[in-house]
């Protein structure tokens, strides 16, 4: 009942920090374009593979005067993979531990970012060249109040335009921008890419760099598909400029989850030149997060430790939309008081000083094993945080919440 919501809400209020005044509204009224970059991992950014640059365009963005890049940003997905990352982004709730929440709780009441922006006059949609029922997206998008879903039916896949899971990212972006031209503004359009997906296959013409040379074909090809995705994002920027949509938009890029699992640790160790300890594995859960605001001059590298749970509060603040009374488990990453405590879906966590992984406490930065008691107090906090979030979902508690007033709806009524 609603008393359980009171408990969760108290927890969330205790951890709430006021969003940055400085960044508030700097993208107000602009279109919001978010790219969910399939399997893009931070270890490929500003990195070389046998002398080849893996992500030349994204590397440039890290230095760009209008781009804020977060190198210490983590994914928090579980079994629901891409869909979990969408769930985190839209709701600032953790996905579930034992199932894909898009499948098991699509009938819930949510207070998504899309719905909120819809109330602010934004046209909202997702664009993704796959069948609409994949990950139960059609159902979940309805529940999350997303106006429109441009699924595979919205695309024309010409000859040579498909590989691996389906439409290649470059023609996908091209046609998605064409859809944007038809949208009323301001719009919120989220584009989900597909080419950089396991098993990371490409046609010869799209292989812009050679494979890596480990005994894992998966890792070897991953560098090539990541390079292709980088190229596609570059073309997206060009296309937005050509179509006159660039200046009036803010462009957000984030990686959804890892592409290379622990099954490839030996090959990964060869590439990184170090053993993949549980500490290193945790650090490999970093995914890139870029905030690009044309003409803002706000560009910098932001070392803040954050995660996907922080996307909603961060983006709403940039757009100048007040989320103060929303039940969000994350916080604005630009907030001066943002707490550096990232909790993975499986209970691992990262703080400014420590990384808890493999049931060991490591020093963040050096990877040295520390006395367990340094991590101990945070272990229970992490479990509690995940439980509060799980309760929100499992008991569908947002149905007792009036998002406009921030007040509880009496369950007796």
Rounded Cα gap, residues 360 and 68, in angstroms:
33
362 phi-psi bin (left φ>0, alpha ψ -120 to 50, beta other): beta
Q: What does the angle CA 203 – CA 208 – CA 212 come to, to the nearest 5 degrees?
A: 90
Site for Mn ion in 52-81 (CB under 5 A): 81
| Site for Mn ion contains 82 (CB under 5 A) | yes
49 phi-psi bin (left φ>0, alpha ψ -120 to 50, beta other): beta
């757009």: which residue's tokens? 319
Question: Rounded to the nearest whole angstrom, what is the least distance from the CB of residue 142 to ligand GP9 in the complex?
Answer: 17
Which of 31, 63, 60 lies closest to 247, judged by CA? Answer: 31
What does the DSSP 8-state code read for residue 259? S
Question: Rounded to the nearest whole angstrom, what is the least distance from the CB of residue 129 to Mn ion in the complex?
Answer: 14
The residue sitting closest to ligand GP9, measured at its beta carbon, is 81
**Which listed range, 14-22, 172-180, 189-197, 285-293, lies at the site for ligand GP9 (CB under 6 A)?**
189-197
Query: Pattern 281-320, binding to ligand GP9, x per CB under 6 A?
Result: ----------------------------------------
Cα 103 to Cα 107, 108, 236, 399, distances in angstroms = 9, 11, 31, 19
Per partner kind, with CB cut-offs from 5 to 8 A, the member of Mn ion, ligand GP9, none near residue 134 is ligand GP9
Tokens in use for 174? 């091209």
| Site for ligand GP9 contains 192 (CB under 6 A) | yes
**Which listed range, 192-200, 229-237, 269-277, 372-380, lies at the site for ligand GP9 (CB under 6 A)?**
192-200
Ordered DSSP codes for 195-232: SS-TT----GGG--SPPP-SS-HHHHHHHHHHHHHHHH
27 vs 100, which CB is nearer to ligand GP9?
Answer: 100
- Strands 73-74 and 407-408 turn out to be unpaired
Question: Rounded to the nearest whole angstrom, what is the least distance from the CB of residue 166 to ligand GP9 in the complex?
Answer: 8
Query: Pattern 26-65, binding to ligand GP9, x per CB under 6 A?
Result: ------------x---------------------------
Task: Tell me, rounded to whole angstroms, the distance of Cα 151 from its chain centroid.
Answer: 20
| Site for ligand GP9 contains 82 (CB under 6 A) | yes
Question: Rounded to the nearest whole angstrom, what is the least distance from the CB of residue 367 to ligand GP9 in the complex?
Answer: 28
How many chain residues interact with Mn ion (CB under 5 A)? 4
**Which listed range, 2-10, 191-199, 292-300, 392-400, lies at the site for ligand GP9 (CB under 6 A)?**
191-199
| Site for ligand GP9 contains 134 (CB under 6 A) | yes
Interface pick for Mn ion out of 169, 230, 256, 332 (rule CB under 5 A): 256
How many chain residues interact with ligand GP9 (CB under 6 A)? 8
Question: Rounded to the nearest whole angstrom, what is the least distance from the CB of residue 374 to Mn ion in the complex?
Answer: 34
75 vs 81, which CB is nearer to ligand GP9?
Answer: 81
Question: Rounded to the nearest whole angstrom, what is the least distance from the CB of residue 283 to ligand GP9 in the complex?
Answer: 21
CA dihedral 76, 189, 186, 119 (to 10 degrees): -60
Task: Tell me, rounded to whole angstroms, the distance of Cα 367 from its chain centroid.
Answer: 25
Where b means 16+ CB within 10 Å and e means fewer, 201-215 reads: ebeeebeebebbebe
Catalytic residues: 82
Query: Pattern 34-53, binding to Mn ion, x per CB under 5 A?
Result: ----x---------------
Per partner kind, with CB cut-offs from 5 to 8 A, the member of Mn ion, ligand GP9, none near residue 130 is ligand GP9
179 vs 304, which CB is nearer to ligand GP9?
Answer: 179
Cα 373 to Cα 246, 350, 380, distances in angstroms = 50, 15, 12
Where b means 16+ CB within 10 Å and e means fewer, 94-129 reads: bbbeeebbbeebbebebbbbbbbbbebebbbbbbbb
Question: Rounded to the nearest whole angstrom, what is the least distance from the CB of residue 148 to Mn ion in the complex?
Answer: 21
- Are 381 and 335 in contact by the 8 Å Cβ rule? The answer is no
26 vs 100, which CB is nearer to ligand GP9?
Answer: 100
Interface pick for ligand GP9 out of 4, 104, 130, 214 (rule CB under 6 A): 130
Which of 310, 349, 362 lies closest to 331, judged by CA? Answer: 310
- By the criterion CB under 6 A, which residues form the site for ligand GP9? 38, 81-82, 130, 134, 192, 194, 197
């Amino acid at each position: 009942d609603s008393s359980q919501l009171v408990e969760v809400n108290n927890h969330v209020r205790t951890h709430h920090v006021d969003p940055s005044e400085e960044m508030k509204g700097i993208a107000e009224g602009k279109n919001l374009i978010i790219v969910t970059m399939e399997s893009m991992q931070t270890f490929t950014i500003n990195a070389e593979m046998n002398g080849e640059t893996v992500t030349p365009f994204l590397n440039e963005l890290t230095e760009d005067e209008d781009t804020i890049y977060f190198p210490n940003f983590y994914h928090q997905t579980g079994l629901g993979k891409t869909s979990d990352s969408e769930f985190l982004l839209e709701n600032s709730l953790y996905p579930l531990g034992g199932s894909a929440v898009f499948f098991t709780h699509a009938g819930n009441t949510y207070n998504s970012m899309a719905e909120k922006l819809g109330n602010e006059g934004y046209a909202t949609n997702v664009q993704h060249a796959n069948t609409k029922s994949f990950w139960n997206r059609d159902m979940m998008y309805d529940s999350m109040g997303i106006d429109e879903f441009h699924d595979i039916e919205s695309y024309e896949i010409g000859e040579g335009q498909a590989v691996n899971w389906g439409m290649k990212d470059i023609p996908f972006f091209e046609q998605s921008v064409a859809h944007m031209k038809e949208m009323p503004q301001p719009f919120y359009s989220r584009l989900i890419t597909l080419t950089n997906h396991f098993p990371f296959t490409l046609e010869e013409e799209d292989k812009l760099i050679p494979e890596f040379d480990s005994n894992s074909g998966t890792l070897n090809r991953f560098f090539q598909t990541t390079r292709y995705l980088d190229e596609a994002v570059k073309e997206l920027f060009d296309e937005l400029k050509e179509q006159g949509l660039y200046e009036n938009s803010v462009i957000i890029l984030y990686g959804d989850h890892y592409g290379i699992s622990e099954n490839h640790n030996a090959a990964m160790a060869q590439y990184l030149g170090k053993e993949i300890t549980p500490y290193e594995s945790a650090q490999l859960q970093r995914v890139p997060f870029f905030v690009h605001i044309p003409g803002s001059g706000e560009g910098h590298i932001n070392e803040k430790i954050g995660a996907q749970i922080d996307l909603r509060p961060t983006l709403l603040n940039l757009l100048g939309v007040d989320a103060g009374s929303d039940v969000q488990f994350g916080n604005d990453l630009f907030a001066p008081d943002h707490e550096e405590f990232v909790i993975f879906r499986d209970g691992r966590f990262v703080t400014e000083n420590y990384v808890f992984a493999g049931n060991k406490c490591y020093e963040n930065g050096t990877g040295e094993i520390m006395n367990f008691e340094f991590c101990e107090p945070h272990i229970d906090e992490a479990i509690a945080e995940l439980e509060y979030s799980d309760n929100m979902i499992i008991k569908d508690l947002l149905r007792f919440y009036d998002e406009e007033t921030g007040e509880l709806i009496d369950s007796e009524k």
